[in-house]
Copies of this chain bind each other. A is one copy, B any other.
Amino acid sequence: MKSPKKILVIHGPNLHLLGRRNPSVYGRTTLNAVNQALRQRAKELKVTLTILQSNHEGEIVDAIGASHSRYDGILINPAAYTHTSVAIRDALESAALPAVEVHLSNIHARESFRQQSLMAPVVSGQVSGFGAHSYLLGLEALHGLLTNSGHKR
């Protein structure tokens, strides 16, 4: 409707190794390839992306804390912090922006400690299990939230 929507994309810990670790679980796509695909799809959707990868819980909290007036939405794969970080959860809740949580693997089919997402109650929705494709679907979902109906949570 107005100027292009700005989206903050956050890749959590160990994702810089994507494509190089456990390919049987996570596939062979690298993080660069994921980011390229995301940028490509962003162009089609006419949104702009800022992308961050960090292994540091504090950096992710910093970034989300600073996102409020700079972005319209957050696309996040919290990776291992999904299950342990109340700090990131609180940051997402404070940010008060539409947020979508994505996971490469189907976390609901893995070890029991991976089946609980601390983020779930503070995001709009979740996409999991489709490998790198999860990101593109998540971006689309977020775009839907931003353009259609504003921030429904």
User: What residues of chain A have their CB less than 8 Å away from a CB belonging to chain B?
Assistant: 12-14, 16-17, 20-22, 54-59, 61-62, 65, 68, 79-81, 83-87, 89-91, 93-96, 106, 108-109, 113-118, 120-131, 133-134, 137, 140-141, 144-145, 148, 152
Contacts and interface: CB of A to CB of B under 8 A. Distances in A.
A12 B96 CA distance: 19
A87 B56 CA distance: 9
27 contacts: A13-B58, A13-B61, A13-B87, A14-B61, A14-B65, A17-B65, A20-B68, A21-B94, A21-B95, A21-B96, A22-B94, A79-B87, A79-B90, A80-B86, A84-B84, A106-B125, A108-B120, A108-B121, A109-B120, A115-B116, A125-B134, A126-B127, A127-B127, A127-B141, A133-B141, A133-B148, A137-B137
B126 A137 contact: no
A120 B137 CA distance: 18
Nearest to A113: B86
A91 to B, nearest CB: 5
Contact of A56 (B17, B58, B95, B117): B58
A129 B91 CA distance: 20
A129 B134 contact: no
Contact of A117 (B57, B108, B121): B108
* Top 7 closest pairs, chain A to chain B, by CB: A125-B129, A56-B58, A108-B120, A21-B94, A80-B87, A80-B86, A55-B61
